[in-house]
Amino acid sequence: MTHDPLRHLSQLRGLREQLQQLPTESPQRAEVTAALVAAVMATRPAEHPPLPWRQRLALAGFVLCVGLAGYAATGSLQGWQARPPVDAGEAMVQRLAGRLAADPGAASAADWAMLGRSQAVLGRDAEAAEAYRRALALQPDADTLTALADLLATGRGGALQGEPAQLIAQALALAPEHPRALALAAAVAWQAGRRDEAARLWTHLRELLPADDPLRAAAERGLALQQSGRP
């Protein structure tokens, strides 16, 4: 069957929205989360030709799809981070983790990145960060660099200075027009008080993206915030 990234993206979004709508005590949460984890684990970038940036952005992680202006202004990430009680989904992730741990020399960067994404879905941020680092040690790439930067910043209440900013700079060195990295770089500049740099990055991001892209809307909100003169 032909791999359809847009269809897969739609499936991921649908599962995510379904999980968000379920009450915490709902017995369906474990089932839906297991399906979501399975969908994330089905994404294996190394086994397919490189996807267009818009599809890679959506498949790389779930954290940054937020209002970038609010993120930059408040210094906090409001991305989706599930902490559901998981049985089947967690079991799948543990099997993957066990396989990689049993023979780490045979694991690829894509394997470790997939484990990182799956751990992040389960809210296991420390394990996700370690998996991302293992992936980067094998093969640095902009998707994993920005995913790790976003994850670290989330654990710091949204603060991007320090290692997250360094990771974002590395991502842009590898892929200067990577939308997620540009969005985070604008937030780095805003948090550091470099308003003109943030506006330049937001403007560039807006020019790269189609009108219906959520990151373009976030960039436009960031520009409106900058023009309003708010701190």
Nearest CA-CA partner of 143 in 37, 49, 56, 68: 56
- Quote the pLDDT of residue 19: 56
- Quote the pLDDT of residue 91: 80
- Quote the pLDDT of residue 111: 92
Contact present, 68 and 203 (Cβ < 8 Å):
no
Question: 47: which residues sit within 8 A by CB, 6+ positions away?
Answer: 110
Ordered domains of the chain (ranges, CATH):
5-228 (1.25.40.10)
All residue ranges of the chain with pLDDT < 50 are 1-6, 8, 44-86
Half-sphere exposure for 217 (CA within 13 Å, toward CB): 7
